[in-house]
Homo-oligomer: A and B are copies of this chain.
Amino acid sequence: MTPSWIEKFPGLTKLNPQLAKPLLEASKVVRLPAGTRIFGPGQAPEAYLLLIEGSVRVQQVSETGREIVLYRVVGGESCALTTACLMGYEEYQAEGIAETDVEAVAIPRSTFDELIATSAEFRRFVFTAFSQRITNLFRLIEEVAFARIDVRLAQRLLEIADKNGHLALTHQQLAAELGTAREVVSRQLNEFQRRGWVVTSRGAIDIVKRDGLAHLASAP
């Protein structure tokens, strides 16, 4: 009866079945292809989204064209924050982009409001997502303001690499991850390569000495 998607959201499985029913009826599963711009200046989603599968990148683009990735929303997480932002308050120019094919539950606004009103569980779910996101933003601010770029790059490489230590990203894309310039990434990667930690090739990087990166990433 309960569709499989709800299993992805531990915070929701305890929902009173009486409440879960209208939620399940009113919401529908949507699929978006990789590359879709889910929201951004000039585009806004019409419903609250819970991500079942896939990854959404939320990034800020400055007037001068530089970019920085603010965070990612992945399967099992709520997009409530971005959505609430969009509906709730003033204009801002961050954008959300599907990095992979994305499967999500779209909850109409009225249903969302009703759930918030009636379910303590649902409220906890939404508030927790909010808090978590803000904690992450605080951390990001600290990193951007105070952390060295080589440390941040090492961290990001470890985060993004697949389990074989492979990344399919250009230097430009990595620079956008960190909010820095392409040349800076190139120089740092050369240095990492010189130390034997990575091997770079056109549009891809392979980590060959995880320890080196991990050591740099973890400290001074």
Which residues does A use to contact B, with CB under 8 Å? 60, 62, 64, 66, 68, 70, 81, 84-85, 87-90, 92, 94, 113, 116-117, 120, 123, 127-128, 130-135, 137-142, 144-146, 179
User: Does the CB pair B66–A127 fall under 8 Å?
Assistant: no
- A120 to B113, Cβ gap below 8 A? yes
Given A134-B137, A137-B137, A140-B141, answer yes or no on A128-B66 (Cβ-Cβ < 8 Å): no
Bound-state CA distance A135–B85 (Å) is 7
CB distance from A211 to the nearest CB of B (A): 22
| B138-A92 in contact (CB<8A) | yes
A89: which of B60, B116, B135 is its contact (CB, 8 Å)?
B135
CA distance A205 to B163 in the complex (A): 55
**CB-nearest residue of chain B relative to A178?**
B145
* Pairs A–B under 8 Å by Cβ, sample size 22: A62-B142, A66-B145, A66-B146, A68-B142, A70-B138, A85-B135, A88-B127, A88-B131, A88-B132, A89-B131, A89-B135, A113-B120, A117-B117, A117-B120, A117-B123, A130-B130, A134-B137, A137-B138, A141-B141, A141-B144, A141-B179, A144-B145
Judging by beta carbons under 8 Å apart, are A133 and B132 in contact? no
On whether the beta carbons of A141 and B84 are closer than 8 Å, the reply is no
Kindly list chain B residues whose C-beta atoms are within 8 Å of the C-beta of A137: 134, 137-138, 141
Task: Choose one: B85, B113, B116, B145; the contact of A134 (CB below 8 Å).
Answer: B85
Contacts of A128 in B (CB 8 A): 88-89
The chain B residue with its CB closest to the CB of A126 is B127
A116 to chain B, nearest CB (A): 6
A175 smallest CB distance to B (angstroms)? 11
User: Does the CB pair B134–A134 fall under 8 Å?
Assistant: yes
The residue in chain B whose Cβ has the minimal distance to the Cβ of A124 is B88
Inter-chain contact B134/A133, CB cutoff 8 Å: yes
